[in-house]
Structure 1
Amino acid sequence: MKKQSIIFSIILAVFFGFQSCDIEEKIIDESLGEDLLINADPLDLLAPVYNNMRMVYGHRWFFALQTFSADEGMLPTRGTDWFDGGVFQELHKHTYGPENRYTTETWDHITTGMAFSFQAISYLEEGSQEYAEAVGLLSHYMWVCLDAYGQVPYRGISDINFSTDPQILTGADAVNTIIANLESVMASLPTGKNTVRFTQDAAKSLMARVYLNKAVYTDRYAGSFNFTDADMQNVIDLTTEVINGGTHTLETDDYFSMFDPDNENHSEIIWSIKNELTSIRISGRSVSRNTTNGLSRGLIYFANDGTTNLTGSDAGCTLPEFLDTWDSANDPRYYKENYASETGTILFSDYKMNRGFLEGQQYGIKNDAGTPLFNGDGTIDIVPVKLWNKDETLANHTREVSLIAENQSVGVRVSKWSIDDIGTNRDDTGVDIPVFRLADLYLMRAEAKLRLGSGDALSDVNAVRIARGGSGFATGSATLTEVYNERGFEFYWEYHRRTDQIRFGTYEDIWTDKTDADTNMRIFPIPSGPIAETPGLEQNLGY
C-alpha cells in the first residue's frame, strides 16, 4: 500500500453494515498511528467512503438543494412549523446566501466524503478493485460538488500530500479530471450486477452524466449552452454500452418497486446508496424520512407490534405548475392505490401506503384505542375514516399552495419512496437511494441524439414509456421539450430536477412564489469558513 507522510484523521461515529457486499464500517482508533492504516483491511478503508454518501444524499441536503430550489417541490411554512430561519424559503425563492444552513451543510458533507476518499486512495493498493472503487466514489463526490458549487477542492489520486493546499478545479478542468480518473480505473472496477458497489456501469453512467452537462459546467452563466457534437456522441456511446450490456433491465411491472425497502439489486437500478433498517439512528439520512417523502403527519399506519403511529411529515409538497405538466389520469407513475378508501377487509401484511402524488382527501383505517380491528383469519377490517392533520384540519391536499401555507393540509404530498414501519418519526429505512437507473440512460441518450441531430430519440423515450404503461403508453414524437417533461415524470423527487432545469434553460422561470431570474443562482454559494481557510477557493458570483 502507498504510505502517506501525514495521517489524515478518520473519525467514525457509527457502524454501518453493507452485509450484501461484505463492507462493514469499523471504528479505527487514530491514536494507534499510521501503522494501523497501512495494515488496515481494504474494506475498512473503503467503508467510510461509501457510508458518507448517505449524508450527501440525505433528505435535507442534496435532496433539498435539488428539489426545493426547483419547480417540482416546496417546503412551505405551516403555522409555526417549518420556517427554520427561512432556509427553505430561501431555496425556493432563489435568495439563498453563504450562511444558508443546507447549502453550507451539503458542502461540508461533500468535502468530508472527498476527504475519506483521498484517505482511502492513499492507503489502498493501486490497481486493486478497492482502489478503483475509491477513485470512482471520489469522482462522484467531485461531480456533486461541481454541479452544486462549481468549484472542486482536489488533491489528485497519486502522491497525495495532505500538508499542502488542495488545487481548486473549475469548469473544463474539473470535467476532464473526473473523466480521466474514471477512465484510469475502469478496468479494475467490478462488472456484473451489484447496486451498492461502484461498478464499471456506474462509472460509465457518471461519465455520461458529466458529458451531458459539460456545456453547463464550462460556461455556467451562458444565455444558451453549446452542447458539442463530441460530447453528445460520448453520451450516446457510454449509455449504449450500458444499455446493450444486458446487466440491467427496465422495470415493467411496478414502477414504485424501485423505491421499496427491498430494492437492493433491483433489475433497473445500476448504482444506489445503501440504507439499512437497523436500531441505530442515522441522523436523518433516510430517503423515507420527513421532507423526502412529504407525507401528511395525519396519515396513520400500523407498526409490527400493532400500535398506531403517525408517520411522514406535514411539510414538503409539489407545485401546481409541475402537476399541470402531467397526464395524471393515464401515467402510472403519478399515483398507485395500495389502500382502497372503501369498506372491506385486507391482510395486515398487504396494507401499504398509497404511492405517488397524494391529492385530495386522505383516508386511514379505523382503529380501536390504537389497535387495528383484527379478525380471526389474520385480516383487518377496512373502515375508512377521513384523516386529520395535527392542526386539526382535514388532510385534504389541494394543488394550490404558497410559501406561507393556509394550513397544514394544502399542497399535494409526494409518496414516491416507501415508508418502513419501524416507529414514529424514525430515520431508519431499508430503501436504497437510486443514483443511476437504466431509464436515465435511455433518456440521456435520447436527449443527446436530439442535441446532436442524429439518431432515433423516439425509440429511447418509448422504451421507458412502454416499460411503465405498455404499448398504449407510447408517444408519437420526441422533442427536447418532450424529453425534458419525460424526465420530470420519470425522476421526480430523485435529485435530478435542478440540474435538468439548468441544462434545459428553465431554472430562471417563474413559478409559485418564485420570480427571481438571476443566473448567478445556478450554483450555490461556498460557505464562508472554507473560503477563509482554503487558498484559491473564491466565492461564486452574486454572493
Structure 2
Amino acid sequence: MKKNIYKLFLMCCALIAFSACTDLDEVLVGEVGNSFNGEEPDFGSFDGGGSGPADAVSSAYNQLRESGSANHGGYWSIQSVSTDEMAVTQKGGDWYDGGIWIDMHRHTYGPANGPINGTWGAQYAAIGACNTALASAGLDANQTAQVRALRAFFYYRLLDLYGRVKLVTTPGADAPQSSRADVFSFVESELLASLGITSVTAAMDLSSSPLGTAQTQYRINQFAALGLLAKLYLNAEVYTGTPRYTEASLAAGYAIDNGGYILSDSSYSVPNPGKRPSVDSDPDELSGYAAVFAPNNQDNPEIIWSIAYDNVTGGNMNFAQMTLHYSSQFTWNLQNQPWNGYSALEDFYNSYDNSDSRKTANFIVGPQADYEGSVILDYAATGGDLALDYTVDINELEPNASRKGGARLGKFSFRQGQRDNMDNDYPIIRLGDLYLIRGEADARASGNWSMALNDVNTIRARAGVPALSSVDEDSFLAERGREMFMEVTRRQDLIRFGRFNDSWWEKPASQPFRNVFPIPQEQIDASGGTLTQNTGY
C-alpha cells in the first residue's frame, strides 16, 4: 500500500505542475502498466558541485546563468532551434506560442520575435553587471582581467548574433551603434589585454598575464581566455571579412599543449545519478564523453571553463523540462512534469554511426520505462498505442506534430529525483572543442583539409569509432556536429561552412541576410534613433 501511495503522490504532483504550464493545454499523464514491486526510491545525497565560489566577481559570473545559457526561451534556444540540430514542433494547441519557434526553424523570424529581443536584453544585463564590477573598488589585477574577459564573452555573443551593437563600458551610460568589425576588435583587444599580450603568436609569452593558470573551472584562467580567442578567430572571416585561422590554431594549440587538461575518455568515469536500480540497461557509471556532461561533471578533466549550475542555488538549466514527454517524469522521478517541447531532427540523429558512443549519450530514443522498468503509458496517445516510444522521425513541424516524435535531447543527462533546475555544469570552453578548432583552423590556413585529420581522429577515438583515412569539408562539418551537439556552436558552424541558408527538414532555403538576427524592434524604438536595423529586416 505504501508503494502505491508513493506512486499516486507522483501522479498528483504531475497533474498539479501540469496545470501551471502555459505552453500546454491538455493533460497527458503516463502510468506504468504494473504496480511498484520494489522499494520506494531513496536518492540519498548528491554533490553537483554547487553554484560556484563566492567572491568579489560572483555577481558578474552569475549572469552566465541568467543570460539564457541553458534554459528555454533565450540565447541557447535561438542559437539551437535555428539550426538543423533540433526543432520545437507544434503539437496541436501545444507549443505554437504565436509561431515563434516555427519562424526560428524556418528562418522567417523578424524584429518582433520575443526570444530574439529577450536574448539581446539578457546579454546587456550581463554586460551591465560586468561594468558595475569593474567600476567598483577592490578588484585586484586578476579579478579585473577576469571580468574584462567575461564582458568580452558577452559581447562575443552579441557580435555573433546581431553584428552591429552598442559597446557600453560604463555603468548607466549609452553608446553609439558600432560596426561588426569594431565589435570584433573590442572583443579581441579585451581578451588580449586580459592575457597581457598584444597578439597571439607562436612565441607569445604569458608570464606577465594577470590571469592565472590554475584549473579553476568556474573562473576564467589563461586557457579559457585563449579558448575564447580561438573561437573568435575561427569565425573572424564571417565577422570581418578577414581570415584569422593561424591565430585560431595557435590559441587553441597553446591551451591544448600547456593547460594540463585531458580528454575525458574511458579511463574517467563518475557514478550515474540517473541509474534505476531495477533496470539492468542503465549503467552504474558514466564514462568518457558522457561524463563530460553528467549532473556530477564538476571535476571533469576536459572542462576548461564552465557555467556552475545547481538545482537549489544556481538555477536556469532545464533541458529535462524542455525536451522530455510529460510521462517521462516517471523514469527519473522528476519533481514536476516535463513540457514535451524540443526534439532532435531525424537527419541529424542519423548522422551518427550506431557504434558511436556519442549517439547513445546525446539522444533518448525508443520505448520508455519507469523507475522500476515497467512500460510507461500515455493514455492521451492517438492510434491505439499507449506505450511511450520516442520515434526518430517526426511527422511534421506543424500543426499536429507527434507528441512522441523525435529523439530527445539527452546529452546533459538527468538524475533521479531531479528538480526543474539541473545540476550539470555547462562547458563554455572544453578540450574536445579546441582539438576541432585547431584542426579546422590548420586546414583552412593551409587550404588542405588533411591537416585536420589527426585532431579529428583524436576525437573519433574517444567516441569509439574507426579513424578516418581522409577528411574533407563535408566530413569535418559532420564530425564537428556530432561532437558539439547542444553546445551552441552549430549555427556558427553552418554559417562558416556556407550551409546555414540551405534547406533541411521542413525548412526551405533562406536568404543570406538571415546569418545575423534582426536588431529587436523594441530596442530600436527605445533607442531614440541610435540603433538602426540590420539589412534585410
Separation in 2, partners of 1:124, 1:133:
15
SS of the residue 2:146 aligns to: helix
CA spacing shift, 1:310–1:513, aligned 2, 3 Å: same
Query: Distance in 1 between the 2:482 and 2:314 partners?
Result: 32
- CA–CA separation in structure 2 for the residues paired with 1:269 and 1:505: 29
2:63 corresponding residue in structure 1? 52
Matches of 1:333 and 1:53, distance apart in 2: 26
Label 1:452 to 1:83 Cα distance change in 2 as closer, same or farther (>3 A). Answer: same
Counterpart amino acid of 1:408? Answer: R
Show structure 2 runs of 5+ residues with no match: 1-47, 196-208, 267-286
Aligned residues: 446
Instruction: Give secondary structure in 2 for the equivalent of 1:168.
Output: coil
Q: Partner of 1:330 in structure 2?
A: 355
C-alpha distance in 2, partners of 1:203/1:179?
A: 10
Match of 1:212 in 2: 234
Superposed displacement of residue 21, structure 1: 5.3
For residues 308 and 125 of structure 2, the distance between their equivalents in structure 1, rounded to whole angstroms, comes to: 18
The equivalent residue for 1:346 is: none
Read off the aligned partner of 1:258 and give its amino acid letter: V
Q: 1:58 deviation in Å?
A: 3.3
CA contact (8 A) 1:365 1:385 kept: no
Alignment-mate amino acid for residue 83 of structure 1:
Y
Q: Which residue of 1 aligns with 2:461?
A: 466
CA shift for structure 1 position 492: 0.8
Residue 460 and residue 168 in structure 1: after superposition, are their counterparts in 2 closer, same or farther (change >3 A)?
same
Task: Say if 1:490 and 1:387 are closer, same or farther in 2 by CA, change over 3 A.
Answer: farther
Q: AA paired with 2:349?
A: L
What residue is the counterpart of 1:90 in the other structure?
Answer: 103
Q: Distance in 2 between matches of 1:19 and 1:363?
A: 30
Alpha-carbon displacement from aligned partner over 1:140-189 (angstroms, at most 9, x marks no partner): 00000110111232134xxx4744x3143322211111111111121112
Q: Secondary structure at the match of 1:77?
A: coil
Equivalent-residue separation in structure 2 for 1:281 and 1:202 (angstroms): 21
Residue from 441, 449, 452 that aligns with 1:448: 441
Three-state SS of the structure 2 residue aligned to 1:473 is coil
Distance across 2 between alignment mates of 1:77 and 1:326: 26
1:436 aligned counterpart, secondary structure: strand
Q: 1:410 and 2:405 equivalent? A: yes
The answer to whether the 8 Å contact 1:196/1:264 transfers is no
Residue equivalent to 1:272: 306
Corresponding letter in the other structure for 2:185: N
Whole-angstrom CA distance in 1 between matches of 2:475 and 2:140: 43
The CA deviation at 1:418 is: 1.9
**2:70 is the alignment partner of 1:75:** no
TM-score calculated relative to the size of structure 1: 0.77
> CA 1:308–1:523 in 2, change beyond 3 Å: closer, same or farther?
closer
Tell me if structure 1 keeps the 8 A contact 2:51–2:308: no
Counterpart CA distance in 1 for 2:131 and 2:87 is 36
Mapping 1:143-182, distance limit 5 Å: 143-156=156-169, 160=170, 162-163=172-173, 165-182=174-191
Does the CA-based 8 Å contact 2:49-2:298 persist in structure 1? no
Show the 5 A alignment for 1:280-359: 282=315, 285-291=316-322, 294-301=323-330, 311-327=337-353, 329-335=354-360, 355-359=361-365
CA separation of 1:21 and 1:68: change in aligned 2, threshold 3 A: closer
| Other structure's SS at 2:409 match | strand
Deviation at 1:399, TM superposition (A): 2.8
Aligned-residue offset at 1:190? 2.3
Mapped to 1, the partners of 2:220 and 2:314 lie a distance apart of 25
Pairing 1:509–2:502 present: yes
Q: Is the 8 A contact 1:194 1:265 kept in 2?
A: no
Q: Distance in 2 between matches of 1:18 and 1:200?
A: 22
Cα 1:325–1:154 change in 2 (3 A) is same
Q: Helix, strand or coil: the match of 2:305? A: strand
> Which amino acid in 2 is paired with 1:442?
Y
Alpha-carbon distance between aligned partners in 2 of 1:502 and 1:201, rounded to the nearest angstrom: 26
Q: How many Å apart are 1:47 and its aligned residue?
A: 1.8
Counterpart contact for 1:450–1:479, Cα < 8 Å: no
Q: For residue 129 of structure 1, report the CA deviation from its aligned partner.
A: 1.4
- TM-score, with normalisation over the residues of structure 2? 0.78
Q: Which has the higher strand share?
A: 1
Is residue 225 of structure 2 the alignment partner of residue 203 of structure 1? yes
Deviation at 1:281, TM superposition (A): 8.5
Name 2:488's counterpart in structure 1.
Answer: 495
Q: Distance in 1 between matches of 2:406 and 2:49?
A: 37
The CA distance in 2 between the partners of 1:519 and 1:497, in whole Å, is 16
- % identical aligned pairs: 29
- Secondary structure of the residue aligned to 1:272 is strand
For structure 1, list consecutive stretches of 5 or more residues without a partner in the other structure: 1-16, 24-42, 220-225, 336-354, 367-381
Q: Aligned pair in 2 of structure 1 residues 213, 498: CA closer, same or farther (>3 Å)?
A: same
CA displacement at 1:194 relative to structure 2? 1.2
Q: In 2 relative to 1, CA 525–318 (structure 1 residues): closer, same or farther, beyond 3 Å?
A: same
Matches within 5 A, 1:174-193: 174-186=183-195, 187-193=209-215
Letter of the structure 1 residue corresponding to residue 423 of structure 2: G
Residues 465-517 of structure 1 show CA distances to partners (whole Å, capped at 9, x for unaligned) of 11221xx6222112222221111110111111111111111111111111141
Alpha carbons 2:49, 2:296 under 8 Å: kept: no
Matched, 1:388 2:410: no
